[in-house]
């Protein structure tokens, strides 16, 4: 067992939101190492490439020395094992998140009983926030300034400029 408390925060992060960054900050204050793990292939049509998402997360979390941004493929529990991590972090915003998160956590426990899922709450200011809604609001020309880190807003604007 690793002596350092390493926690993996997996997700799509397409794009990273202020809610994600809030959670990364909270985790970085509690655990020795936080690995933010961007899923490489989830079959969904993504707005940002995995490399872009990694760059945005690295820029937005650059003030957190114990947060590392990586990508992963395959089973999350296999990735966690390779990283010598026994903890998985997921955020729960509202009761509506719970069922999906419970299913995933219990499936991961079934696959790897010694890996625990830890749930944390982002700031209530972000409890309505999701990557999907950010993309929708941005796609319809709405203001996403308070919803995403500056690097994400900049890249979204670039995408609009290029389209
Ligand atoms: O941000 P998301 O899209 O809700 O994150 C979902 C994620 C990446 C955590 C989940 O899809 C995942 O862990 N995928 C890896 C494949 C896997 O391990 N599946 C079985 C566990 S349910």
Confidence of residue 21 (pLDDT cuts 50, 70, 90): very high
Report helix, strand or coil for 13.
Answer: coil
Average pLDDT, the chain: 95
β-sheet bridge partners, residue 91: 120
Q: With respect to residue 124, please indicate whether it lies within any of the assigned structural domains.
A: yes
Query: Ligand 1: which residue has its CA nearest to atom 17?
Result: 75
Residue-wise pLDDT for 109-132, tens only, equals 999 999 999 999 999 999 999 999
Q: With respect to residue 109, please indicate whether it lies within any of the assigned structural domains.
A: yes
Distances (CA, A) of 133 to 14, 68, 119, 136, 140: 11, 26, 22, 5, 11
Q: With respect to residue 1, please indicate whether it lies within any of the assigned structural domains.
A: no
> What's the 11 CA to ligand 1 centre distance in angstroms?
6
Q: With respect to residue 81, please indicate whether it lies within any of the assigned structural domains.
A: yes
Asked if residue 11 has its Cβ within 6 Å of ligand 1, the reply is yes
Asked if residue 104 has its Cβ within 6 Å of ligand 1, the reply is yes
Residue-wise pLDDT for 41-96, tens only, equals 877 889 999 999 999 999 999 999 999 999 999 999 999 999 999 999 999 999 99
pTM: 0.96
User: Which is the closest atom of ligand 1 to the Cα of 79?
Assistant: 18
Percent of the chain residues past pLDDT 90, beyond the cut: 91
Q: Residue count of the chain, please give it.
A: 163
Query: Residue 102's domain is classified under what CATH number?
Result: 3.40.50.620
Q: With respect to residue 127, please indicate whether it lies within any of the assigned structural domains.
A: yes
Report, as an integer, the average pLDDT of 127-156: 96
Distances (CA, A) of 67 to 35, 70, 116, 119: 6, 10, 19, 17
Catalytic residues: 20, 44, 93, 131
- Name which of 83, 94, 72 is nearest 19 in CA terms: 94
Query: Ligand 1: which residue has its CA nearest to atom 2?
Result: 11
Query: Ligand 1: which residue has its CA nearest to atom 16?
Result: 75
Per-residue confidence (pLDDT) for residue 162, from 0 to 100: 63
Q: How many folded domains does the chain comprise? A: 1
Domain that holds residue 117: 6-160
């Amino acid at each position: 067992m690793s002596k350092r408390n390493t926690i993996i925060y997996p997700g799509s992060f397409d794009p990273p939101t202020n809610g994600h960054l809030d959670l990364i900050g909270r985790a970085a204050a509690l655990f020795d190492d936080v690995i933010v793990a961007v899923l490489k292939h989830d079959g969904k049509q993504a707005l940002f490439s995995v490399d872009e998402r990694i760059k945005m997360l690295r820029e937005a979390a650059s003030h957190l020395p114990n947060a590392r941004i990586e990508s992963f493929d395959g089973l999350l529990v296999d990735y966690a094992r390779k990283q010598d991590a026994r903890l998985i972090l997921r955020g729960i915003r509202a009761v509506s998140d719970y069922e999906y998160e419970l299913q995933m956590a219990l499936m991961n426990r079934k696959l790897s009983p010694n890996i625990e899922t830890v749930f944390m709450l982002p700031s209530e200011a972000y409890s309505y926030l999701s990557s999907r809604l950010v993309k929708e609001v941005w796609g319809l020309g709405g203001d996403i300034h308070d919803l995403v880190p500056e690097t994400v807003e900049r890249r979204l604007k670039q995408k609009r400029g290029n389209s």
